[in-house]
Amino acid sequence: MSNNTFINEVMDGLKKEGFLMIPDDFIDQLITTLHANVTIINTMTELAELETKMLGSFLPTGSRQVESLKELSKNIAEIAFNVEDVRNDQR
């Protein structure tokens, strides 16, 4: 049995026994907060894109900032969807 299989079995057992339950209110608030962060980061991305267009060569790192913000937004959205999956699995 691999370590991952063993860990998954232990986690499933704890979950079945009710030891891994996270309160729904906490999960709902976490999901709301994560989605709000994605919205804010997307707005920041739009502003960075506009700033890069306006200032062009004066901001040599502008496009890197935009890409970094896009990646951050994507990662936070993935976390939010994973948390939603956890909530749905608990129900």
Q: What is the pLDDT of residues 31-71, one digit of tens each?
A: 899 999 999 999 999 988 888 888 876 766 667 888 888 99
In the chain, the N- to C-terminal Cα span, in Å, equals 29
State the burial class of residue 42 (Cβ atoms within 10 Å of its Cβ: 0-12, 13-18, 19+).
middle
Under 8 Å between Cβ of 34 and 72: no
- Distance in angstroms (rounded) separating the CA atoms of residues 50 and 15: 47
Q: How many C-beta neighbours within 10 Å does residue 81 have?
A: 13
Average pLDDT of span 66-79? 90
